[in-house]
Amino acid sequence: MKNMLKGLGAVLCVALPILANAAADQTLVQRGAYLARLGDCAACHTAPKGKPFAGGLPMNTPMGRIYVTNITPDAQTGIGGYTEADFARALREGVAKDGHNLYPAMPYPSYAKVSDDDAKALYAFFMHGVAPVRQVNRESDIKWPLSMRWPLRFWNMAFLEKGVYRDKPGKDVAWNRGAYLVQGLGHCGSCHTPRGVAFQESALDESGSAFLSGAVLDGWFASNLTGEHNTGLGRWSDEDLRTFLKTGANRHASAFGAMTSVINNSTQAMNDQDVAAISTYLKSLPPAGGNGAPPYTYDPQATKVSLERPANDAGARVYTAYCMHCHGVDGRGFAPMLAPLAGNPNVLAKDASSLINVTLNGTGDLVINGLPSPFPMPGFAVVLDDRQIADVLSFVRAGWNNGAPALGAAEVAKLRQSTQTAR
């Protein structure tokens, strides 16, 4: 019996550390899964009706269309042969295992700020928490000589700021956590910060005045996220912002374009502490960009009169026929289910790309906790011509004291053509 107990003790001495390591590894994988949600990796690396993280999603760039790569652990077509160091280099420096440079459509200038611990957890998830998929990566449609990758080394020398995020002294834990998520894993600046002539982000953090002040990308205007009163978050409360991140809609606006995917795949899965941290950081940003107009105040009177006599106004006629039943005579919609138009930051923006695009093509479904939104915005591209859309959007941009400039049919025609070509 004594020998048997000794033998059992010896087995336990070997088995318990193995079990502890397995549990620790699984914890790391689960943490990596959460971080991958924070980074919204699925939105770009999973094609419609495709397998998770197998790539193939087309992405339009100023040089031509590229196709996002397979990041499953398949050894032949994915990243199964990557070491942890290879993975971290691709993530934070934009250099693949074989040495070729990635296009900066992959937001590695933001991911450069990801901590070593988070990079380790992400690697564990992609190696052990994702099913391998054998799917060959597709070459880009970019023509030679722009398709050459070696010039990207010089792009990186000029625009890539290496170094993980360091907490800012004088800022509290929530602010620094929010800054880390917004600037790093969340890569918010990739869409919401204007880009320069070399497709570089004009600023990578709050030290640059252009940071998160809004930008045109792939036929949409990614909204201003600074404290600007009219077109930014200046009128949003902390609760408004947290509600938007969790549900994609609040009393001011609803998600559209690529932001729908961000809500569906990323921000709704964030824990409350991270949502609060992001809100804390964004609400600290000073006003930037904007439309230069006086602070918005609601006034329904003139618009109400026009809608009572729509025969006198081409835009009012279209609005009463196609828009009023959802967005209301008062322009306030039925938030958060149906977006308001009065004072909506996207309506007030100088660049009307999003307003035109969403009217032409509608929005994708917001899917919150597995339930699709009951009232997605339909597209009117086949119902209304360019002149009618220009008229109704000019009416909306002027209505309820919005005071935004009118649009021409040529602007609508241009975006109609570009979005049809992109499809």
In a domain, 46, yes or no: yes
Structure tokens at 273: 């502490």
Which CATH number do you get for residue 36? 1.10.760
Q: Clarify whether residues 47 and 105 are in a common domain.
A: yes
Residue 16's pLDDT band, with cuts at 50, 70 and 90, is very low
In a domain, 416, yes or no: yes
Q: Is 192 annotated in some ligand binding site?
A: yes
- Exposed (0-12), middle (13-18) or buried (19+): which is 175, by Cβ within 10 Å? middle
Q: Clarify whether residues 181 and 285 are in a common domain.
A: yes
List the alpha helices (DSSP H) in 225-267: 238-247, 258-265
Residue 2 has what pLDDT? 60
Q: Clarify whether residues 309 and 414 are in a common domain.
A: yes
Q: Clarify whether residues 172 and 288 are in a common domain.
A: yes
Q: Clarify whether residues 102 and 197 are in a common domain.
A: no
In a domain, 408, yes or no: yes
- Average pLDDT of the residues in 79-106: 95
Residue 9's pLDDT band, with cuts at 50, 70 and 90, is low
Strand 58-61 relative to strand 64-67: parallel, antiparallel, unpaired? antiparallel
Partnered with residue 128 across adjacent β-strands are: none
Q: At what angle do helices 409-422 and 386-398 cross, to 10 degrees?
A: 120
Mapped onto helix, strand or coil, the DSSP state of residue 22 is: helix
Distance CA(251)–CA(231), nearest Å, equals 14
In a domain, 139, yes or no: no
pLDDT reading at 20 higher than 60: no
pLDDT reading at 331 higher than 50: yes
Q: Clarify whether residues 324 and 418 are in a common domain.
A: yes
Q: Which is more confident, 392 or 49?
A: 392
Q: Clarify whether residues 260 and 317 are in a common domain.
A: no
Q: Clarify whether residues 33 and 127 are in a common domain.
A: yes
Structure tokens at 140: 């880009």
From 257, 272, 292, give the residue that closes a domain.
292
Residue 149 has what pLDDT? 87
Q: Is 326 annotated in some ligand binding site?
A: yes
Q: Clarify whether residues 398 and 361 are in a common domain.
A: yes
In a domain, 144, yes or no: no
Q: Is 13 annotated in some ligand binding site?
A: no
Distance CA(208)–CA(109), nearest Å, equals 15
Quote the pTM value: 0.91
pLDDT single digits (tens) 118-176:
999 999 999 999 999 999 999 888 788 878 888 899 999 999 999 999 999 999 999 99
Mapped onto helix, strand or coil, the DSSP state of residue 56 is: coil
Q: Clarify whether residues 343 and 402 are in a common domain.
A: yes
From 292, 325, 346, give the residue that closes a domain.
292
Q: Which is more confident, 355 or 312?
A: 355
What integer best gives the mean pLDDT of the chain?
Answer: 92
Q: Is 41 annotated in some ligand binding site?
A: yes
From 247, 271, 292, give the residue that closes a domain.
292
> Which residue in the block uniquely carries the two structure tokens 């070729």?
100
pLDDT single digits (tens) 360-402:
999 999 999 999 998 899 999 999 999 999 999 999 999 999 9
Which CATH number do you get for residue 315? 1.10.760.10
Residue 234 has what pLDDT? 96
- How far is the CA of 343 from the CAs of 26, 322, 324, 350, 397, in angstroms? 48, 20, 16, 13, 9
Number of structural domains, the chain?
3
Q: Which domain holds residue 62?
A: 24-133
Identify the weakest region by mean pLDDT among 72-86, 197-211, 390-404, 409-423: 409-423
In a domain, 95, yes or no: yes
In a domain, 151, yes or no: no
Q: Clarify whether residues 282 and 311 are in a common domain.
A: no
In a domain, 6, yes or no: no
Q: Is 188 annotated in some ligand binding site?
A: yes
List the alpha helices (DSSP H) in 267-308: 272-282, 301-308
Q: Clarify whether residues 288 and 305 are in a common domain.
A: no
